[in-house]
A and B are shown apart, each in its own frame.
Chain A
């Protein structure tokens, strides 16, 4: 699988709230299917289905122990997904910092001449 396809799979797996809750639980330590099913009010097969999706996306791995097969979280794909969000966030943050400057200027201008040229923007101050 290419890295792009990996990331698609990661986001698809993360799109479901139950799967995100499972990951949140696993972030605190490994757990068996039974342990995972308990707080969700869901059947074991339903949980197993979600686990299969998470495993397919590489977000979790299952232990070898045939009885328990504990699930644990895999950090890498989540970190990759976060990295995207972070790049995107930085792009917009730079824009918004320019907007901060502009708003500051507009506020200062309005203070300097509260009643003149600028059309009433609503009476502040």
Chain B
């Protein structure tokens, strides 16, 4: 897999996280995979057994989206927001808020798709309302010293890591 492990994550300033990753497909296709429910359900999941049973996307300015993930134990976690800007297939901007607020406030997510030679570089910028929000998201991956409210997400991260060690990946 040529693009695996090429993801770059950085904590930028005091309220942002940025992620950059290349994909081996034209951007119209990557954009589609990022905005169409039936396609999102295939990859925007978590560890094996976790599914995205609810995925509604009204891709237009002012339109809302809603995701609900379900773990193999039947726990549900929902998130959603409103599209602030939609310029297919170049970029979209949306707010994000989780039902069980595991970070305070709302985040604004900006995703840009830049095509070059048949490949697409996707940059995701997540801007949180506060430094605490941003750091809370980063901390969710820690195994100790994690605050109570982050516990479930931390478990998801751990399971995800364990899953990565298994050679085969399951599709939800």
Contacts and interface: CB of A to CB of B under 8 A. Distances in A.
Interface of A: 2-4, 7-8, 11-12, 14-15, 81, 83-104, 106-107, 110, 121-122, 124
A89 B28 contact: no
B92 to A, nearest CB: 16
Nearest to A89: B9
A106 B47 CA distance: 22
Given A88-B9, A103-B33, A98 B43 contact: yes
25 contacts: A3-B145, A84-B138, A85-B138, A87-B142, A88-B140, A89-B19, A91-B46, A91-B156, A91-B160, A93-B7, A96-B3, A96-B43, A98-B45, A99-B23, A100-B1, A100-B3, A100-B23, A100-B24, A101-B169, A102-B42, A103-B24, A106-B32, A110-B29, A121-B28, A124-B26
B64 interface: no
Contacts of B11: 11, 14, 81, 85
B139 A7 contact: yes
Interface of B: 1, 3-5, 7-11, 13-14, 17, 19, 21, 23-26, 28-30, 32-33, 39, 42-47, 118, 131-132, 134-135, 137-142, 144-147, 156-157, 160-161, 163-164, 169, 171
